[in-house]
A and B are shown apart, each in its own frame.
Chain A
Amino acid sequence: MLRLLSFALLLAIWWIAALFVGAAKLPSPPAVLNVIIAEASSGALFLHLGATLARVSLAFVLAMSLGSAIGYLMGRVKLADRLGDPWLILLLNLPALVVIVLAYIWAGLTEAAAIAAIAINKLPTAIVTLREGARALDRSLDEMASVFAMPRWRAFRHVVLPQLAPYIAASARSGLSLVWKIVLVAELLGRPNGVGFEIGIAFQLFDTPRLLAYSLTFAAVVLVIETALVQPFEARATRWRPRAA
C-alpha cells in the first residue's frame, strides 16, 4: 500500500515537472504511455525487450556461475587467492566502456562479443562477494561434516551452500542492476536491436517520449524479475533464521 502511494507520488512529481519544462524535454506520463502502447501493438517493443532480456540473462548466468566458482575457490584456497588477486583488481577497475569497445574490436560486432563484454563487467563483483562468503564459512561445521564422513557433494549442498546463499543473493541483486545498465551501452555501440539500440536512435532524433517509453518498460521488467525471482530466493535462503514475532 505504502509502495503504491510512493509510486503515485513519483508519477505526480513527473507530471508537474513535465508541465513546467515542456513536452520536448519531459513528456507527460500519458504521452509516454501512448508511445508504449504504439510500440507494443507494432510488436517492436517486445522484439527489443526480448533481445535485451536474452542478453541480460545469458550474461548474468555466465558471470554469476563463473564468478561464484572463482570467488569460492579464491576464498577457500590461499594460492588461488594470491594468483587471482591482481587480475581481480585489474578487472574491478577496468571501465565498462573499455571492455565493450575492446570486445567489439577483437571479436567483431557479434552477439558473443556483446554478451562476453557484459559478463566480464559483472564478473569481478561476483567474485569479490563470493570470496567474502567463502572466507566467512564456519570451520566448525566443516569439521562436523568431515567427522560424520559426509560425502563431498552432500556437505557442499547442505553445509556450504546455505552459508553462501545470502552472498549469492546479494551478488545476484547488485549484479542484475549492473548488467542491466551495461547491456544498454553494449547495445548502443554495436547491436542492431535491443533497448539500448532503440535508445540510441531516440537520442539521435531527440525523441524523448520514445526514450522514456523504452527505458521505463525495461525498468518495469527488471522490477518484476526482482520481486518475482530474486526476493523469493532470498526469503527462502534465510527462512531458517528465527524472526522476531
Chain B
Amino acid sequence: MRLEVDITGKTFRSAAGGTQEVLAPVSFALQSGEVGVLIGPSGCGKSTMLRIILGLDRDFGGHVSRPPEARIGMVFQEPRLLPWRSVEQNVRLAAPDITDAKLAELFRILELEAHRSHFPGELSLGLARRVALARAFAVEPDLLVLDEPLASLDDALAGRLRDEIATLVARRPVMTLLVTHSLDDAIRLGDRLFLLSPRPARIVREVPIAIPRAERSEAELGRIRAELAALQLESK
C-alpha cells in the first residue's frame, strides 16, 4: 500500500472576503511500514494537510491517492471521544471486530484496565489521550495518523507510548503519519522527516533516517539531532 500526496495549493476564504493561502504545493509519498513525520511551526497548516489526506476536506488543488480499502486509525489533537459512551464502548464502536483478548492486551499496554467502564468526562486529559490511542490501534489500521499524540503526557508515559507505537508499526505493515513539535519523538519514531515552512506550508527539506528504529543508539540520535538543528538554523 502506498499513500501519495500531491497538493498544489489550498486557500481559505476569510470572513473579511479576502483569500488566504494555507498550503503551498506539497508532495510526498509514504510506503507501508514507513513512518513519515511532519514537523513545522504551529499554525503552519499541518492540521489542514491532515484533513485533506484523511478525506475530510475535499476543497483543495491537487490530488491525494490513498488505497480505498485502507483502514484508518487516527489520533486527533483533542481526544474526540464520545462523552456518552464508556471507554470500552468508544474503542469497540470504532473497531467492532476486535477480539476480547486483543482489547484486553491493548488496555493493559496503555494502562486503561481500571477505566474500561468510565465515561470520558471522568478521565484526565492524559487518560483520554490514551483512550484515543487505544481506539486508533484497535482498528489495526493500514494508515495511522497521529496528530500530536503525546502532547500533555508525562515523560515516562510518553516514552512508553512512543515505544508502543514503534512496536505496532513494526508488527504490521502500516503507513504512519506523525505530526509533532517534538524533535525527540520525530527522530525516535520517524523514517523520513518532512520539515515544513511557516504558513503557507511547503516542505523545506526531507530528511531520511536510514538506521532502523530499533537500532538507533543514543549516540546516533544525538548526531541526528545535531544535524537537524544545523539544518533548521540554515533554513531560517
Chain A interface residues toward B at CB < 8 A: 140-141, 143-144, 146-150, 154, 158-159, 162, 240-242
Interface centre among A147, A150, A162 (most CB of B within 10 A): A147
27 contacts between A and B (CB under 8 A): A140-B76, A141-B80, A143-B51, A143-B56, A144-B74, A146-B55, A146-B56, A147-B55, A147-B56, A147-B72, A148-B72, A148-B94, A148-B139, A149-B71, A149-B72, A150-B94, A154-B93, A154-B96, A158-B85, A159-B82, A162-B82, A162-B84, A162-B85, A240-B85, A240-B121, A241-B83, A242-B119
Distance from A238 Cβ to chain B, minimum over Cβ atoms (Å): 9
Which residues from A are CB-within-8-Å of B83?
240-241
Q: What 5 pairs between A and B have smallest CB-CB spacing?
A: A162-B84, A240-B84, A148-B94, A242-B121, A144-B80
The interface residues of chain A, by DSSP majority, are classed as helix
Q: Mark B85-100, 1 if CB is under 8 A from A, else 0.
A: 1000100011010000
**In the complex the two chains form, is A140's CB within 8 Å of B82's CB?**
no
Once A154-B93, A158-B85, A159-B82 are accepted as A-B contacts, the answer to whether A148 and B121 lie under 8 Å apart by CB is no
Closest residue of B by beta carbon distance from A165: B84
Which residues from A are CB-within-8-Å of B76?
140, 144
Is B122 close to A, CB under 8 A? yes
Query: How distant is the Cα of A143 from the Cα of B85 in the complex, in angstroms?
Result: 17
Query: How distant is the Cα of A144 from the Cα of B72 in the complex, in angstroms?
Result: 11
Chain B interface residues toward A at CB < 8 A: 51, 54-56, 71-74, 76, 78, 80, 82-85, 89, 93-94, 96, 119, 121-122, 135, 139
Which residues from B are CB-within-8-Å of A141?
80, 82
Closest residue of A by beta carbon distance from B80: A144
Contacts A147-B74, A149-B71 supplied; 17 other A-B pairs, CB < 8 Å: A146-B55, A147-B54, A148-B74, A148-B139, A154-B93, A154-B96, A158-B85, A162-B85, A240-B83, A240-B84, A240-B85, A240-B119, A240-B121, A241-B83, A241-B121, A242-B119, A242-B121
Which residues from B are CB-within-8-Å of A150?
93-94
Closest residue of B by beta carbon distance from A144: B80
Query: How distant is the Cα of A8 from the Cα of B89 in the complex, in angstroms?
Result: 46
Which residues from A are CB-within-8-Å of B51?
143
Query: How distant is the Cα of A79 from the Cα of B18 in the complex, in angstroms?
Result: 26
**In the complex the two chains form, is B82's CB within 8 Å of A158's CB?**
yes
Closest residue of B by beta carbon distance from A143: B56
Query: How distant is the Cα of A162 from the Cα of B82 in the complex, in angstroms?
Result: 9
Which residues from B are CB-within-8-Å of A148?
72-74, 94, 135, 139
Query: How distant is the Cα of A160 from the Cα of B73 in the complex, in angstroms?
Result: 21
Query: How distant is the Cα of A239 from the Cα of B53 in the complex, in angstroms?
Result: 36
Closest residue of A by beta carbon distance from B119: A240
Query: How distant is the Cα of A147 from the Cα of B56 in the complex, in angstroms?
Result: 8
Query: How distant is the Cα of A242 from the Cα of B72 in the complex, in angstroms?
Result: 31
Query: How distant is the Cα of A63 from the Cα of B76 in the complex, in angstroms?
Result: 39
Distance from A137 Cβ to chain B, minimum over Cβ atoms (Å): 13
Which residues from A are CB-within-8-Å of B54?
147
Which residues from B are CB-within-8-Å of A159?
82
Distance from A164 Cβ to chain B, minimum over Cβ atoms (Å): 11
Query: How distant is the Cα of A152 from the Cα of B171 in the complex, in angstroms?
Result: 31
Which residues from A are CB-within-8-Å of B135?
148
Interface centre among B80, B85, B135 (most CB of A within 10 A): B80
Which residues from A are CB-within-8-Å of B94?
148, 150
Query: How distant is the Cα of A148 from the Cα of B144 in the complex, in angstroms?
Result: 11
Which residues from B are CB-within-8-Å of A143?
51, 56, 80
Closest residue of A by beta carbon distance from B122: A242
Distance from B219 Cβ to chain A, minimum over Cβ atoms (Å): 39
Which residues from B are CB-within-8-Å of A140?
76, 78, 80
Distance from B1 Cβ to chain A, minimum over Cβ atoms (Å): 16
Query: How distant is the Cα of A162 from the Cα of B51 in the complex, in angstroms?
Result: 25
Closest residue of B by beta carbon distance from A162: B84
Query: How distant is the Cα of A146 from the Cα of B76 in the complex, in angstroms?
Result: 13
Distance from A149 Cβ to chain B, minimum over Cβ atoms (Å): 7
Query: How distant is the Cα of A11 from the Cα of B76 in the complex, in angstroms?
Result: 59
Interface centre among A146, A240, A241 (most CB of B within 10 A): A240
Distance from A158 Cβ to chain B, minimum over Cβ atoms (Å): 5
